[in-house]
Amino acid sequence: MMRLNASQAVSPTLLHGLVGAWCPSLGPSGYTLLDRSGRGRHGVLTNMDAAGDWVSAPGGWALDFDGSNDYAVLDSQSNLMSNPLTLSGWLWTQTTNNRQTVVGSVSSNGGRTNWLVSVNFYNNGKLNFWQRATGPFLNSATVVNSGEWVHWAVTRDPDGLASRIWINGRLEASGTAPFLPQTDDLGDQITAIGRSGGFSGYYMTQQFADFGVWHRTLTGAEVGALYRSGQGGLGRLLTQRRRRVYGIPTTAVKPYLFLNRGQVIGGGIR
C-alpha cells in the first residue's frame, strides 16, 4: 500500500467540514478514544481491555474488536449523522463472512429507537451502507478479503438522495434513494464503532484505525487522497503541529494513562 507524507497527500481543504476524528493511530489513551477534531466527542471503549486491545499497526496503533461484545460509543449528541455526510476509516479485516457492523448510528425519542445509518459487512463479504427508510441500500462491488488493511468511505449528497461507497480510493457503488428523517429521528443520536448504535448484536471482528465524519460530501479526489495518505494519515494531519498549519481548533484536553508493568490499563481525559 502506497503511503505519502500527510502534508503532501492532501490539501487543507480536506479538513473542511470535519466534525469528528477518532485516531487510534496516534497511540493508546486507555478507555477513552479521543476525538482529535477539536469537537470534544470523545469515545468510550466498552467491554474492552485497554491493556490488550490497543495493538500495533502500519500507521502506528489500532483498536482490536473481538466480535463478542466489544464496541466504542463515540457520540450521544444530536446531528452527528446529517446531510451532506462523509464517513471514512480503516479496517484490518480479520473476517467478513458473517454479518457485523463497522459503524452504526441510531436516534431515540419518546422511547422509540430508529436506525439512521449503518456501515456493515454482510455474509457475502461486501461492505454495505444502510440508511433510514431504505433498508439494505448499497453494496460494494468488491469482496473484502480477510487479512488485509482496507480504506473505506461512504458519502451522501446534500439532498440525501445520492450515496456512494469507496474501497481503497476506488468508487465501488452509487445509488439514489431518499434519506427521510422522521419527526422521531430528532432525538439524541447514539453512534458507535463495532455495534449498531444503541442496539446490541452484530459486533465487529476487525482491527479499526483512523475514522472521520464530515458534514459535507468529499470528492473522489479527496477520498483517494485519504487512502494514499495511509492508515495513520488522518491522525498525522491532526497532531498538534499540523493543527497549527491547517487551522484546526485546539482544546484543553489532556489525556492521561494508568500503567501497570508498562501496559496501559486505563485512562481518560482532564
First to last CA, the chain: 37
Distance CA 54, CA 266 (A): 11
pLDDT in tens, 86-139: 999 999 987 766 788 899 888 766 555 566 788 888 767 888 888 765 555 788
Q: For all residues of the chain together, what is the average pLDDT?
A: 79
More confident position, 262 or 234: 234
Q: Express each pLDDT in 188-212 by its tens digit.
A: 778 889 987 666 778 888 999 999 9
Write down the pLDDT at residue 180. Answer: 56
> Domain 6-269 belongs to what architecture?
Sandwich (2.60)
Write out pLDDT tens, residues 160-177.
778 999 999 999 999 886
Q: d(Cα 92, Cα 72) in Å, to the nearest integer?
A: 17
Contacts of 169 (CB under 8 A, 6+ apart): 151, 223, 224, 226, 227, 228
Sequence spans of domains, the chain = 6-269
**What is the number of other CB atoms lying within 10 angstroms of the CB of residue 9?**
20
